[in-house]
A and B are shown apart, each in its own frame.
Chain A
């Protein structure tokens, strides 16, 4: 079975500073990787995903993530954060299979707080 670890439950960052949110996964087979964001009082929104190809993936709102197979990591980065980036960020994986309905397995989430 696959699993996801987000070691940092809370990350405070000053406005305009860079940020990295860490995600490591475990799986015996190949996976697809995702980052979802949850703004206050809203549902989860897809930030970016890695399915295949270039290991550097760019998403919405200036975020990017790099898939590192040897490190089994998919860390999320942004070079300069804004107050509006304050949210909960979830890393997730799903198995690669012919069955398109595979479930997502989520990490525990990282609460990003931007300090003015």
Chain B
């Protein structure tokens, strides 16, 4: 199974951009890269996903390396509400389509 590696924690200041890295060196060609975040006592919430090209939505941007072995979630202007644990997940594109969770990055936003 493909695995993801993320830093345990990161810290940033309010209204500054945040770059959250994820390594997935064993990703296969059909695996999708998903990002979710989890607030305390809540279920994970969708942030963004992509396959090969960079993606933008109202919440964030996802930059995917050309070799797809790493990706970066970009929060353009962090707010206090963005403080959460962020998970980089690979979803198998074929077969069982298992979800493989990394350990997650705890993001702290300073006022």
Q: Do A and B come from one complex?
A: no
Q: Which B positions have Cβ atoms within 8 angstroms of A?
A: none
